[in-house]
Amino acid sequence: MNRLALAAMEIEDFGSLSARTVIAGVEAVCDPFGALYLPATRLLVVSDLHLEKGAAFARRGMLLPPYDTLATLKILEAVIARHDPAIVVSLGDNFHDRVGSLHLPETFRARIEQMARGREWIWINGNHDPDGTTGLPGQSADEVHYAGLAFRHEPSDKESAGEIAGHLHPSATVRRRDKSVRRPCFATDGRRLLMPAFGVTTGGLDLRHRAMAGLFERETLVAHLLGRDRVYSVRFANLLA
Amino acid sequence: MSVTHSTDPGHDGLLSGPFAEWFLARGWAPRAHQLELLARSRSGESLLLIAPTGAGKTLAGFLPSLTDLFARGRMPPGSGFTGIHTLYISPLKALAVDIERNLTTPVEEMGLPVTIETRTGDTPQSKRQRQRLNPPDILLTTPEQLALLIANGEADRFFKDLQIVVFDELHSLVTSKRGHLLSLGLARLRRLAPGLRTIGLSATVAEPMDLRRWLVEQAPDADHHAGLVLGPEGARPIITILKSEERIPWSGHSARYAMPEVYQAIREHRTALLFVNTRSQAEMLFQELWNINEETLPIALHHGSLDVGQRRKVEAAMAENRLRAVVATSTLDLGIDWGDVDLVIHVGAPKGASRLAQRIGRANHRMDEPSRAILVPANRFEVMECQAALDANYVGAQDTPPMTEGALDVLAQHVLGMACAAPFDEDALFTEVISAAPYAALPRETFSRVVDFVATGGYALRTYERYARIRRTTDGLWRVSNPQVAQQYRMNLGTIVEMPMLNLRLVRRNARGSLGRGGATLGKVEEYFLETMTPGDTFLFAGKVLRFEAIRENECLVSQAFSMDPKVPVYAGGKFPLSTYLADQVRAMLADPERWRALPPQVRDWLSIQRDVSMLPGRDELLIETFPRGSRHYMVAYAFEGRLAHQTLGMLLTRRLERAGLKPLGFVATDYSLAVWALDDLGAAFRTRQPSLADLFDEDMLGDDLEAWLDESWMLKRTFRNCAVIAGLIDQRHPGREKTGRQVTVSADLIYGVLRSHEPDHILLQATRQDAAAGLLDIARLGAMLNRIRGHITHRALDRISPLAVPVMLEIGKEPVSGEAHDQVLAEAAEDLIAEAMGDAAMREAEASPREIDGRRERE
């Protein structure tokens, strides 16, 4: 919930809390909310919102708290207000299940419409929501190629150059003085970048997990971890084994 | 089934016909308490029987049913459906099975027209179905099975003829959430069979009245309780403390030093039971014994993570007297009849008097012969603990945990179960619920919130009406929305929440070096333990040193390792905190040098040196020592309040020290003391009263500091997970999704975070706090301690570590420090990048961890 508190704060020098990186020659900013901003194209990427996760479980008989969607949207609003992007790409698993956008309560729908006003909005299809969204602004696509980068939900096992992907919810662990801290992170080796999951009730998968094997050049891999109020950049070699 | 040898015939003709003949034929006579219980139960009374092990408790418990059923006679063919007459509830499956065996023999010998069957988690579906159609007279089962039975639509038919409910080992059932669920089940049984009477069988407990109330219907403004029948007192057990030639360790729990003496004791007895407090200790002890088992005595291992098949084999071998020793955890605490055990060895301090009594009772299951037991302390504090225990006329003392108020998560589970059984009226169910002792004080409004939680999650934001699990229909009754709800309920029922477990499968590497398939299953291990390992790591399980190979689906593949020095499995749970009663005894012993004479010379010397270089605290005094070591400043508080309370104290103290600017770095807690270390000089700060120790240890830490800490605590997250699973918010298992056993369906931590920030007063958070305060945090005990030591804190600023501090200092680095994770750690990791770029080696030196003490272990 740190991001929610951060979202409510007035911050003078937002840039100093973020990390800069370059993917396939394109400059990008990893911000402490877990969004990626490309200044040259004014494009904002968020991934794995998993909206309506609580409702998706409720549909199956587990009545999880219904507050996740609102919390995620509040953070998203703050991010959009900070960067004022021309294009927003939501990188898949936008909703936790196929009917999530269909059954979305009106108040949430209105907030998304408000955010999308005056911008281009692209919903990339994910494995949780492969059929696109219903009744929301913007357009759906399986993947998008733009400004020298490829935006898709699942990282491809063929090409990696210039790929921005989500799906795996990367997180990383660092340890010092008998204390270890695990946080969601951006992961990039300069060729490809994996986005942290943006939704408030999403878990994380460690960068050392076998599902991540082969995705990155480990020598150049850097994790940009989401700290309480800023991004910390740590090389893969310095992460907890 | 134990009875005295005597020729006294049953009195007052209570036992006639086949019963009298049966006793007579064996030259036995019923005992006074058996007859008293029979007579009073016949007159309709509900009763609590308190008697030591071996007093014929079980027979006493069943005599009323057997005589009743004998009088009734066999039901003539075609007499229609007859429900069960007697329900017997045992805390253990194995105990129910054991009782069936022990009860069937006399019933057959007497030729009684009585059918007896068990129903446990292992009972096949076909037999369960048959039992529903044609119930036995006596059904032996567990609390979970009772919950399933009463949630069934046919429950009223099944239980309509119920006369007697027998609760075995009641003392061990009532203090947990299982007991809460069982009490609600009993309340339902009373409604289904209004005339039923209860019989509770119990070992001696601190507060018999709690159990007596538990057994009968409670009503507002009236004191209802069951009658009390007392059995005879057993012979006093002969308990000794193992005297070893070896040096007794300063810390640790393995008691490795004493293995030769323990082995010798096994050799000198027919059959020994060796009890330890944790599964990892059991593993270690078992391996150590086999390392020196030159005569290859049959020594076996028994604990809860072992494969059921393996456990049954051990139990069978034990019953047939084929074993010389069994190493066991609490899985063998309860009343299974174990043939000819003539010695109990307790490795590690017993931590509580009642638990020790129970375990010692396993030896020589005959009441009139004294049990023999040897206590094997694993370290020097445990020597004192054991001695204090014996000195204080120990085994008679009772320190069973107090009964707790009924948990709300359990209530939620029960409410859903009752909706699965039949539509319910909210007021009527409330009346039923508060007739159960643990829920007697439940406010009506809280009950409504629980019902609302069961229906739609109980959220202020009411968006789930269309997903409701139960709905109130126009007739005013609550009913389940669809059949899946009932299916989900049945799959997730119970109050024992397990960490995700993986099967361990033993495989071989084939000639090409790849892993084979299909070896033997060894048992289960918590997933988090395996997550800390990399392929090639070795660990101890089921007495074997295993090599971790891989995880495939929900199985962990391991191969036989030939290493002798494995990483030992560390299991959560199973570590009992020191009881308040014993802690007080240890403090008293510490304060009284006269009593040290009973202690071994090394322990005496240790205390004498402590007295010379520092001091020994008085019985009600809190001694605080401070001293520097390495680059850090340490403070050790000898509070003797058990690990849980110390853990909480450590959390709160570090917060306060942080606020005082003393830069605390971490702490570690044992049963006896707490060590905190910091960058700043703690001793100097206390001397100049910045802050004063009185302020630091003021009771007000249990106010805002506690609240603030709870908000961030990982313990609360874990407690929340348990509550959420029990209450049915998070499924342990979901229909059709069992295969994904490894994947927790949803992260409880994240749910907790969202709920806490949006609805901090939610009923489940309330349940979580209530749970944590009573359990993991031991707040009541910490509060009592802070109150006791007010004005009695003594500070000794030393220039080096004291003898008394050594044990806790040795724990540093062994256990993960459960401090709060700071972003500082992240910042430093990021600095590594800079350091690397700048070639600054000095920055990395600053990372030295406080483990330096490990290397100096042998120097004291």
pLDDT > 90? residue B541: no
- Length of chain A (residues): 241
User: Which chain A residue's Cα is nearest to B813?
Assistant: A178
Given a contact cutoff of 8 angstroms between Cβ atoms, the answer to whether B372 and B419 are in contact is no
Query: How crowded is residue A23: how many other Cβ atoms within 10 Å of its Cβ?
Result: 22
Distance, first Cα to last Cα, chain B: 53
Inter-chain touch B729–A64, beta carbons under 8 Å: yes
pLDDT of residue B858: 26
Q: Write the ipTM.
A: 0.82
Of B457, B469, B849, the CB nearest to A177: B849
Inter-chain touch B457–A59, beta carbons under 8 Å: no
Selection from B458-467, B476-485, B719-728, B805-814 with the highest mean pLDDT: B476-485
pLDDT band at B839 (very low <50, low <70, confident <90, very high): very low
pLDDT of residue B831: 54
A60 vs B contacts (CB less than 8 Å): 734
Of A61, A70, A176, the CB nearest to B829: A176
pLDDT digits (tens, 9 = 90+) for B689-742: 889 999 999 988 888 888 777 766 656 777 788 899 889 888 766 554 443 333
Please give the DSSP secondary-structure letter assigned to residue B509.
Answer: B
User: Which chain A residue's Cα is nearest to B730?
Assistant: A62
Inter-chain touch B832–A235, beta carbons under 8 Å: yes
Please give the DSSP secondary-structure letter assigned to residue B760.
Answer: T
Of A1, A65, A181, the CB nearest to B751: A65
Backbone angles phi, psi at B652, to 5 degrees: -70, -40
Please indicate if any CB of chain A lies within 8 Å of the CB of B747: yes
More confident residue, B541 or A99: A99
Query: How crowded is residue A10: how many other Cβ atoms within 10 Å of its Cβ?
Result: 5
Report helix, strand or coil for B696. Answer: helix
Please indicate if any CB of chain B lies within 8 Å of the CB of A60: yes
Average pLDDT of the residues in B174-201: 94
Q: What is the mean pLDDT of chain B?
A: 80
Selection from B262-276, B362-376, B658-672, B745-759 with the highest mean pLDDT: B262-276
pLDDT band at A187 (very low <50, low <70, confident <90, very high): very high
pLDDT > 60? residue B532: no
Q: Which amino acid is located at B159 in the chain?
A: F
Average pLDDT of the residues in B230-245: 81
Cα–Cα distance for residue pair B711/A37, rounded to 1 Å? 33
Given a contact cutoff of 8 angstroms between Cβ atoms, the answer to whether B533 and B547 are in contact is no
Please indicate if any CB of chain B lies within 8 Å of the CB of A228: yes
A59 vs B contacts (CB less than 8 Å): 467
Report helix, strand or coil for B140. Answer: strand
pLDDT > 90? residue B385: no
B767–chain A nearest CA distance, Å: 16
**Range(s) of the domain holding residue A124:** 2-238
pLDDT > 90? residue B232: no
Please give the DSSP secondary-structure letter assigned to residue B784.
Answer: H
Q: Which amino acid is located at B555 in the chain?
A: E
pLDDT of residue A155: 94
Given a contact cutoff of 8 angstroms between Cβ atoms, the answer to whether A53 and A171 are in contact is no
Given a contact cutoff of 8 angstroms between Cβ atoms, the answer to whether A171 and A183 are in contact is yes
Inter-chain touch B826–A201, beta carbons under 8 Å: no
pLDDT band at B744 (very low <50, low <70, confident <90, very high): very low
pLDDT digits (tens, 9 = 90+) for B143-162: 999 999 999 999 999 999 99
More confident residue, B233 or B323: B323
Please give the DSSP secondary-structure letter assigned to residue B380.
Answer: H
User: Which chain A residue's Cα is nearest to B745?
Assistant: A57
Report how many Cβ contacts below 8 Å link chain A to chain B.
138
pLDDT band at A179 (very low <50, low <70, confident <90, very high): low
Average pLDDT of the residues in A184-206: 92
pLDDT digits (tens, 9 = 90+) for B261-296: 999 999 999 889 898 877 778 888 888 899 898 988
For the sheet containing B272-275, what is the strand order?
A: B238-241, B372-376, B343-347, B272-275, B325-328, B299-302
Structural domains of chain B, ranges and CATH numbers in brackets: 4-230 (3.40.50.300), 238-396 (3.40.50.300), 408-496+715-773 (no CATH), 501-560 (no CATH), 825-859 (no CATH)
Average pLDDT of the residues in B193-207: 89
Distance, first Cα to last Cα, chain A: 27
pLDDT > 60? residue A1: no
In the block, residue with structure tokens 């019989």: B199
Q: Which residues pair with B795 in a beta bridge?
A: B624
pLDDT digits (tens, 9 = 90+) for B157-186: 999 999 999 999 898 888 888 899 999 999
- Length of chain B (residues): 860
β-pairing, B538-541 with B793-797? unpaired
Given a contact cutoff of 8 angstroms between Cβ atoms, the answer to whether A169 and A202 are in contact is yes
Given a contact cutoff of 8 angstroms between Cβ atoms, the answer to whether A173 and A166 are in contact is no
Cα–Cα distance for residue pair B616/B646, rounded to 1 Å? 19
pLDDT > 60? residue B854: no
pLDDT digits (tens, 9 = 90+) for B84-111: 999 999 887 777 887 888 889 889 999 9
Percent with pLDDT over 90 in chain B? 30
Token pair for B372: 């023999």
- The dihedral built from the CA positions of residue B824, B827, B832 and B838, taken in this order, carries a sign that is negative
Write the CB contacts of A202 (distance below 8 Å, at least 6 apart in sequence).
A48, A50, A53, A169, B750
In the block, residue with structure tokens 């029979």: B38
pLDDT of residue B829: 54
pLDDT digits (tens, 9 = 90+) for B19-55: 989 888 888 888 899 999 999 999 999 999 998 766 7
pLDDT digits (tens, 9 = 90+) for A18-45: 999 999 999 999 999 999 999 999 999 9
Please indicate if any CB of chain A lies within 8 Å of the CB of B26: no
Q: What is the CA radius of gyration of chain B?
A: 29
Interface of B with A in 647-666 (CB under 8 A): 665-666
Query: How crowded is residue A144: how many other Cβ atoms within 10 Å of its Cβ?
Result: 17
Interface of B with A in 835-854 (CB under 8 A): 836, 847, 849-850
Of B456, B729, B817, the CB nearest to A62: B729
- The dihedral built from the CA positions of residue B378, B379, B380 and B385, taken in this order, carries a sign that is negative
Token pair for A156: 């491809």
pLDDT band at B807 (very low <50, low <70, confident <90, very high): confident
Average pLDDT of the residues in B194-223: 91
pLDDT of residue B499: 54
pLDDT digits (tens, 9 = 90+) for B298-348: 999 888 777 777 877 888 888 788 889 999 876 665 555 566 788 889 888
Please indicate if any CB of chain B lies within 8 Å of the CB of A234: yes
pLDDT > 80? residue B518: no
Cα–Cα distance for residue pair A209/A213, rounded to 1 Å? 7
How much of chain A is helix, strand and coil, in % rounded to 5?
20, 30, 45
Average pLDDT of the residues in B217-227: 92
pLDDT digits (tens, 9 = 90+) for B497-507: 655 567 788 88
pLDDT band at B366 (very low <50, low <70, confident <90, very high): low
pLDDT of residue B332: 63
More confident residue, A177 or B476: B476
Inter-chain touch A201–B745, beta carbons under 8 Å: no
Given a contact cutoff of 8 angstroms between Cβ atoms, the answer to whether B337 and B365 are in contact is yes
A179 vs B contacts (CB less than 8 Å): 666, 817, 819, 821-822, 825
Interface of B with A in 767-826 (CB under 8 A): 813, 816-817, 819, 821-826
Of A1, A64, A178, the CB nearest to B746: A64
B637–chain A nearest CA distance, Å: 22
Please indicate if any CB of chain A lies within 8 Å of the CB of B230: no
Given a contact cutoff of 8 angstroms between Cβ atoms, the answer to whether A174 and B826 are in contact is yes
Q: What is the dihedral of CA B533, B539, B545, B549, to 10 degrees?
A: -10
A174 vs B contacts (CB less than 8 Å): 825-826, 829
Given a contact cutoff of 8 angstroms between Cβ atoms, the answer to whether B495 and B177 are in contact is yes
Q: List alpha helices for B526-642, DSSP H.
A: 527-531, 580-591, 601-613
Of B457, B813, B826, the CB nearest to A174: B826
Average pLDDT of the residues in B191-214: 91
- Nearest residue to A49 via CA among A94, A104, A80: A94
pLDDT > 90? residue B598: no
B456 vs A contacts (CB less than 8 Å): 63
B754 vs A contacts (CB less than 8 Å): 1, 54, 65, 67-68, 71, 200-201
Of B665, B731, B750, the CB nearest to A201: B750
Q: Which of A20-24, A61-65, B248-252, B396-400 has the lowest mean pLDDT?
A: B396-400
Given a contact cutoff of 8 angstroms between Cβ atoms, the answer to whether B730 and A62 are in contact is yes
Cis peptide before B208 (omega within 30 of 0): no
Q: Is A166 exposed, middle or buried (0-12, 13-18, 19+ CB in 10 A)?
A: buried
Average pLDDT of the residues in B466-484: 93
Inter-chain touch A178–B813, beta carbons under 8 Å: yes
Please give the DSSP secondary-structure letter assigned to residue B502.
Answer: E
pLDDT digits (tens, 9 = 90+) for B624-677: 999 998 888 999 999 988 877 888 888 888 888 988 888 887 778 888 899 998
Average pLDDT of the residues in B452-458: 94
Cα–Cα distance for residue pair B844/B838, rounded to 1 Å? 12
Token pair for B646: 């110390």
**Angle between helices B714-726 and B763-774 in degrees, nearest 10:** 120
Q: How far is CA B425 from the centre of its chain?
A: 35
* The total number of structural domains that make up chain A: 1
pLDDT band at B187 (very low <50, low <70, confident <90, very high): very high
For the sheet containing B793-797, what is the strand order?
A: B664-669, B674-678, B632-638, B622-629, B793-797
Q: Which of A46-55, B415-424, B441-450, B535-544 has the lowest mean pLDDT?
A: B535-544
Q: Which of A54-58, B42-46, B232-236 has the lowest mean pLDDT?
A: B232-236
Interface of A with B in 83-102 (CB under 8 A): none
More confident residue, A195 or B509: A195
Q: Is B243 exposed, middle or buried (0-12, 13-18, 19+ CB in 10 A)?
A: exposed
CA distances to B250, B380, B688 from B676, rounded to whole Å, are 19, 21, 19
CA distances to B233, B318, B357 from B53, rounded to whole Å, are 10, 18, 10
A224–chain B nearest CA distance, Å: 10
Q: What is the dihedral of CA B789, B790, B791, B797, to 10 degrees?
A: 60
